Amino acid sequence: MAAAESSGRYFRKRSRCVHHPVAFHVCWPVLLLSIAALPHASLAQGETTPQSPYATLDRNAVDYRGPGRENSANLPGSTVKIGLLLPLQGTRATEGQALLEAAKLALAEEEAAGPLADGRHLTLAVRNEAERWGQASSEMVQLISEDRVAALITSSDGNIAHQAEQIANKIGVPIVTLASDATTTRINIPWIFRLGPSDEDQARAIAAQIYRAGLSRKVLLLVEAGHDGRVGAEEFEKSVKHLQGTPPERLEIASSELHLENIAAQVKAAAPGAIVFWTSSPMAERLLALFSQSELAKPIYLCRKAAASVARNAFALADHEAQAADEISMGTWVTSSAAGATIEETSEFAERYRAKTGVWPSFAALQTYDAVRLVAKSLRVAGANRSRVRDYLASGNRFAGLSGTIVFDSAGNTLGETHLLQLAPTSRLPEL
């Protein structure tokens, strides 16, 4: 595929072992062999001409024209709070704690930089998103109404993001979410901002590489039952159709009924040439261990949520052209935003995070760190005013984050290219 061979950069990790409680429990002295830039323009080949829709909404016209920008609407209190809604209990508690540690490091750096222009200091207000239906909404309302946060950061859960966008639109508070569900911003609510590539962006990148010209493969699409799995799988199937590729075989798995032996038998019977994961990180962890045990050495592609807990170590730059062409079809791949911060900045944070927690930061931890720093920067520029913070986030300002370059359009969509990172583990995945 020409796009996969276009100019770009890739990262190589140091020769170290990564021990992470959630990151597939695997030793990754990870070699990030390449980042393949996949511009959307390359996907136009083979597409049929779409029918004209009845109506469309102009993303660039999305704006908030209501009140709240005046100084009298500035948030009161002796401190200015940044809200975090994280999974701190239940099956994703380990992930939530890892994200919280990243947020604390970000806040510590902001404290070292000094107070806001009005002399107030930043603090975090943290609540548990929980696993019970409806509790997350209650926690969000308390963060916004009682804790009086200037902005709210939510995790990768798409359902939580949808709840947040509705509450934000009614109350008027900016939301920065790690969720990849593009429908959170498709309805053009001006208060929510999606950090990182959408499911659509990721699906196009993965499909373009698998179905590149001259390569015919049978693809198995593993989907976790639920909102996020369904949305991501549909986007991947659309991308394959646009490329006129052979439709993937879809295997839907319920997290509550994870019969590993049956799944292994189904995957083996399917005899795929490539496997795509659209699951949560805990499910991906168990399935990857299963595949290692079954010696299913196929190219594997992980959506951002499936790879959320993969540890990302310190990097060294190398030329993209140095990669051999046949390496593109091997290993395990994850989606990523284009590079933002320098390698030195990313390495320095990774070392501090590891010194504090004993593990390397995950992709999601880098995003959480970036989200806190981004909101803090908005507050330094706009002041402790929710409407003005929203305006700053929507104004196209570019932020060089550790997880990638962050810049939003006025509708809250992340702009920029989506890349693929190849992971080359040097040891087998753990036995179950």
Give the best-scoring range by mean pLDDT among 54-68, 98-112, 176-190, 254-268: 98-112
**8 A C-beta contact, residue 364 and residue 195:** no
User: Structure tokens of 168?
Assistant: 């934000």
**8 A C-beta contact, residue 160 and residue 142:** no
Mean pLDDT of 90-107: 92
User: Mind listing the pLDDT tens digit for each residue in 132-154?
Assistant: 667 888 999 999 999 999 999 99
Q: Is the pLDDT of residue 353 over 60?
A: yes
**8 A C-beta contact, residue 223 and residue 279:** yes
Dump the DSSP string for 322-367: GS-GGGGGSSEEEEEEPP-S-HHHHHHHHHHHHHHHSSPPBHHHHH
The domains located in the chain, with CATH, are 3-48+199-338+419-423 (3.40.50.2300), 59-196+343-415 (3.40.50.2300)
Round the average pLDDT of the chain to a whole number and report it.
77
> Of residues 6 and 203, which shows the higher confidence score?
203
Can you give the pTM of this predicted structure?
Answer: 0.76
What are the strands of the beta sheet with 79-86, ordered from one edge? 121-128, 79-86, 151-154, 175-177, 192-194
Q: Band the pLDDT of 309: cuts 50, 70, 90.
A: confident
Give the best-scoring range by mean pLDDT among 40-54, 156-170, 373-387: 373-387
**8 A C-beta contact, residue 421 and residue 336:** yes
Distance of CA 241 to the CA centre of its chain: 24
User: Mind listing the pLDDT tens digit for each residue in 56-95?
Assistant: 445 555 667 677 889 999 999 999 999 999 999 887 888 8
What's the pLDDT at 216?
64
Mean pLDDT of 39-62: 42
Beta bridge partners of 250: 221
What's the pLDDT at 25?
36
Report the share of the chain in percent with pLDDT over 90.
Answer: 39
User: Mind listing the pLDDT tens digit for each residue in 362-389?
Assistant: 888 999 999 999 999 999 999 999 999 9
Query: Taking every pair of C-alpha atoms in the chain, what is the biggest distance, in angstroms?
Result: 66
What's the pLDDT at 220?
94
DSSP 408: B
